[in-house]
Every structure is written in C-alpha cells, then in structure tokens.
Amino acid sequence: MIKIENLTKRYGTKYALSGISFTVNKGEIVGFLGPNGAGKSTTMNILTGYLSFTDGRVEVDGLDVLDFPAEAKKSIGYLPEQPPLYPEMTVTEYLNFVYDLKGCTLNKKKHIAEILEVVKLTDVKNRVIANLSKGYKQRVGIGQALVGNPKVIILDEPTVGLDPRQVVEIRNLIRTLGLDHTVILSTHVLQEVQAVCDRIIIINKGKIAADRRTEDIAAAVAGNRRMSVKICGPVKEVLQTLRGLPGILSAESVGNLDADSTTYVVECENGIDVRKPLFAVLARNNWPMLGLEAADANLEDVFLTLTEKTADARTKKKRGKAEK
C-alpha cells in the first residue's frame, strides 16, 4: 500500500531523513516510533504530499507521489500534529466544509453521519468546536481524516496532550479504524505502539533503527526485567547484598526521597523471579522493604537493547569468520 525507498530529506545542510526505506501492507496498523526530532513528522508530511523531498521514491497505492500527486493524496487521510480545525464552526459544519474541500463524491449526508458514528461525535455534532474538550477535538481531527473514505489513514502523534482516559478512547478508535483501513501512526511512547500496532518501525536521527512485528520488539525488550525497590537500610551493605543475590545482574541506588529509605533499580536475569529470596534476605538483615514495582521499559531501553543485539551479532559473526 505504501512503499518508501531511500527517502532523504535535507534542510539546508542538515539531514532530517538519511535514506529510509520501508513498506506498509494493506490492512496493517504500523507504529512509527521515535524520540522528538527523529524525523516522524517529516516522513508523514512527505507521504501526504505536504512536503517535498531531496531524494528517493514514495509510492502510495501503486502510484508515485511525484507523478500522480492528486491521486496519491486522495488515498490518504491525514491528521497532522496540529489538526487544522476551525474553532468557530460546529462539528457538522466543519466536516461538511472538509467534504467540499476534498471534492468528495460520496452521498454527503450519509457519509458524514457515518463518520460521526465512527468517531463517536453524533451527540455533539451541533456544538462549536472551540467548546469541545481536547479529546473530542482530536476526534474531530480524526473524523476530518476519514472524509472521502481514504484507504490509508496517517495520524501524527494522535494522543499527545490527552488525559489517560482520552488516550484509551483514541487508541480504541484507532483499532476500529484498523479494521478497514491501513493505518500509520507516529508516537514517542513505546506503550502506545505496543497497545495498538501490528508492526513497529523505530526511527532515530533520520534513520530506521528497527522494523519488526510488535511481539518481536516486546520480546527483545522483555529480556531482562528491571524492578525498582525501596529499602530501609545502610546503602553500602544493601547494595552489596543485592548484588550478591543469585538472579540479580545489577543493582544501583537511585536516591533517597525519604530520610531513612533508599530506592534501588535492580536488573534481574530473564526467567528468574527474585522477589521471594529478596524479601527473605532483607528480612534476615532487618531491612524493611517499603515498595517493589516493575520498572517499565522505555524507548531508551529499546534502542539500547536493539542496537546492542545488532552489535553483538556483528562481533559474533566477525569472530566466527576469524576462527574459520
């Protein structure tokens, strides 16, 4: 459905994208994951025809975007980072306006009523956009992308700035869209892509760091488990004890928020549950444990794990060759 080959974008002498390539198949929900400044919006703006590029090739639904810009644009619905809403319009007025702008030919009334249902805005369809909450405004933005029933929906950081409940609602909506559209969404939140996407493309500094099925990325990250433990006791001795416990790979103190307890981040070997022996050894020393929680893997961990694995594989290959 989408094919990007060797795409390069330069701003002056600075490369925002340095030759990225990937494809998105029909019906997939693909997450474009990367830190701020990675090149996510640049890629999306190029895909949707809003930005020119320096080099490479972009194909949407079999059409080169340079040769068939209007046709390619028609197959894409786009929610940019800053949705182009007109706050003084009502939801219905706005969707009608977008319908005319896109030169749609579907049955207008029926089509807009269907979109209002999908994005769950029927109840507020006559409200002025300015008076809607951020979550509802975002749904109007997604509704706007759905006008014309494009095959591909592209959403740039669709949950940024929403409260946790709104985030869940928008994620559910995206899953629904995935049932009959190809969807690409960008985010800098790992949990977001894990929650909704079939595949994750990780982009960093204008280059693709990984392109894998979501479960493979999850497995790569889940290798070693990290926990955060809050313990009352003498830091030096506690650290020594933690590091001596079978199954614990490393332990670091990360500061004491209260006067008499310290928080430690502990990395455990894959498949070993150290919680019971940890409790036992702390009890024996009379060092109360005030808290224990799993530390979520973050984007930095993913980058580290993935790049370390690639580096590992490379050195192993080299070694293998040398031994032969």
> Which residues of the shown chain bind ligand ADP in the complex (CB under 6 A)?
11, 14, 16, 34, 36-42
Residue 65 CA to residue 229 CA, distance in Å, equals 53
Report whether 19 contacts 56 (CB < 8 A): yes
Under rule CB under 5 A, residue 45 binds Mg ion: no
Does residue 75 belong to the site contacting Mg ion (CB under 5 A)? no
Q: Parallel, antiparallel, or unpaired: how do β-strands 207-213 and 262-268 relate?
A: unpaired
**Region of residue 272 (left: phi > 0; alpha: psi -120 to 50; beta: else):** beta
| Nearest residue (beta carbon) to Mg ion | 41
- What residue type is assigned to position 7 of the chain? L
Spatial distance between the Cα atoms of 124 and 295, rounded to a whole number of angstroms? 40
CB of 145 to Mg ion, least distance (A): 16
Residue 158 touches which of Mg ion, ligand ADP, none (Cβ within 5-8 Å per kind):
none
Q: Which part of the chain contacts Mg ion (CB under 5 A), choosing from 21-29, 37-45, 87-95, 315-323?
A: 37-45
Looking at the chain, how many residues does it have? Answer: 324
Using the rule CB under 5 A, which residue among 41, 45, 182, 187 binds Mg ion? Answer: 41
For 199-216, b/e burial (b = at least 16 CB within 10 A) is: bbbbbbebebbbbeebee
Nearer to Mg ion, 85 or 227 (CB): 85
Of 59 and 156, which has the nearer Cβ to ligand ADP?
Answer: 156
How many residues bind to Mg ion according to rule CB under 5 A?
A: 2
Part in contact with Mg ion (CB under 5 A); list of ranges 32-40, 51-59, 89-97, 237-245? 32-40
**Smallest separation (angstroms) from ligand ADP to the CB of 164:** 22
3-class DSSP assignment, residue 33: strand
List of residues contacting Mg ion (CB under 5 A) = 40-41
